[in-house]
Amino acid sequence: MKNIKGPAIFLAQFLGDEPPFNNLKSICKWAKSLGFVGVQIPTWDGRVIDLKKAAESKDYANELRETVESCGLQITELSTHLQGQLVAVHPAYDTMFDGFAPKQVQRKPKERTAWAVDQLKLAARASKNLGLEVHATFSGALMWHTMYPWPQRPAGLVEDGFKELAKRWLPILNAFDKAGVDVCYEIHPGEDLHDGVTFERFLEATGHHSRVNMLYDPSHFVLQQLDYLQFIDIYHPFIKMFHVKDAEFNPTGKSGVYGGYQDWINRPGRFRSVGDGQVDFKSIFSKLAQYNYSGWAVLEWECCIKHPEQGAHEGAERIREYMIRVTEKAFDDFASAGKNPKLNKQILGTN
């Protein structure tokens, strides 16, 4: 078995315009002071990375890595969640997702998609230059508006949807393959890849591309009422990244999974700081250890109640508590009689 690395923290929710959250070095010093040993970097935020420069300049990539390491941390992965979302956007969501793109491609769906694809290819090269082996992203969605089958979906719609999604992603996956980096899709509501079945459909549509893998985040499974522990049993060969994020689901006589268009604080399903929700992290860490997961445990803080700085401080401590130092020997080795073929035959009665 292998040891999980961590605790690490996804910087996206903490970056801001005030110190220490306004540049890479100061936010890394802050993260280190809380006990984190790794940072996951959002590539859309210029306060911490110039993605194009990281892809084109090994010197810049080395400087970036050295800045992080000078604070006693490691770069765990890069993230293109926002750009990945824009690889596939249904027209119904054009206006809302335009904010993820630069102004020059807003209200221009084709140009926006081309920009997003280029961003992902840059991320592949940047990851290689930084010595990283896995990358976090979203799949985007062409079919989410048909998630609840009313009206009835026309025959072949889903197959055509995954065929188109794979067509858009295959050039990106090939770029990551050339860079030697796995693409880890966060399995997430709002994406066409939002559960195990949809992941399998996409994997098949890509011809079982070797770079198609998963970012596992149990909070999204709590909100879907999906068995997040059995999910690990089924899909552990594909789980290459792990977001440690908590959630709770408390249905009422008024509202359930869909949430009634309510704000997060009033929804039956809502995200919580690690340890404040319903996720059984002890069992998750045990299962990941059982299946030799050797990647990072990365805190992703999202909570509609607790302050982010308190959530980060507690998250580092709780991840350390959950982490398992895997054993190198069996607990009953003290009673071993050693290897003795003659004795084995005697016990089996085959002498």
Please give the share of the chain, as a percent, with pLDDT higher than 90.
92
Mean pLDDT of 324-328: 85
Whether 206 and 174 have beta carbons less than 8 Å apart is answered as no
Q: Is the pLDDT of residue 327 over 90?
A: no
Q: pTM score, two decimals?
A: 0.95
What confidence score (pLDDT) does residue 326 get? 86
Single out the residue of 237, 347, 243 nearest to residue 7, CA to CA: 243
Q: Does the pLDDT value for residue 124 go beyond 80?
A: yes
For 94-114, what is the mean pLDDT? 97
User: HSE (CB half, 13 Å, CA atoms) of 106?
Assistant: 9
Beta carbons of 52 and 117 less than 8 angstroms apart: no
pLDDT band at 169 (very low <50, low <70, confident <90, very high): very high
Our measurement of the distance from residue 190's CA atom to the centroid of its chain's CA atoms, rounded to an integer in Å, reads 14
Cβ-contact 264, 270 below 8 angstroms? yes
The pLDDT value recorded for residue 346 is 84
Write down all domains in the chain, each with its CATH number in brackets: 5-348 (3.20.20.150)
Residue 171 has pLDDT above 90, yes or no: yes
pLDDT in tens, 85-100: 999 999 999 999 999 9
Report whether pLDDT(337) > 80. Answer: no
Alpha-carbon radius of gyration of the chain: 22
| pLDDT tens column, 28-87 | 999 999 999 999 999 999 999 999 999 999 999 999 999 999 999 999 999 999 999 999
Q: What is the dihedral of CA 280, 77, 45, 209, to 10 degrees?
A: -100
Report the distance separating Cα 91 and Cα 99, nearest Å.
14
Residue (of 75, 15, 14) closest to 46 by Cα position: 15
Cβ contacts of 324 within 8 Å, gap of 6 or more: 3, 4, 285, 286, 289
What average pLDDT is seen over the chain? 96
pLDDT of 112 strictly over 90: yes
What pLDDT score does 338 carry?
A: 78
- Which range among 278-287, 304-313, 331-340 shows the weakest confidence by mean pLDDT? 331-340
What is 253-273 written as a DSSP string?
SS--TTGGG--GGGSSEEEE-
**Residue 19 tokens, joined:** 């110190």
pLDDT digit string, tens, across residues 180-221: 999 999 999 999 999 999 999 999 999 999 999 999 999 999
Please report which confidence band the pLDDT of residue 343 belongs to, taking 50, 70 and 90 as the band edges: confident
pLDDT of 334 higher than 70: no
Which pLDDT does position 335 carry in this prediction?
A: 62
Q: Going by C-beta distance under 8 Å and a sequence separation of 6 or more, which residues neighbour residue 327?
A: 1
d(CA 72, CA 38): 9
Is the N-terminal amide bond of 151 cis, ω within 30° of 0? yes
pLDDT computed for residue 119 by the predictor: 98
Q: How far is the first Cα of the chain from the last one, in angstroms, to the nearest whole number?
A: 36
Separation between Cα atoms, residue 267 and residue 161, nearest integer Å: 30
pLDDT tens per residue across span 211-242: 999 999 999 999 999 999 999 999 999 999 99
pLDDT at 151 over 70: yes
Q: Residue 77: beta bridge partners?
A: 40
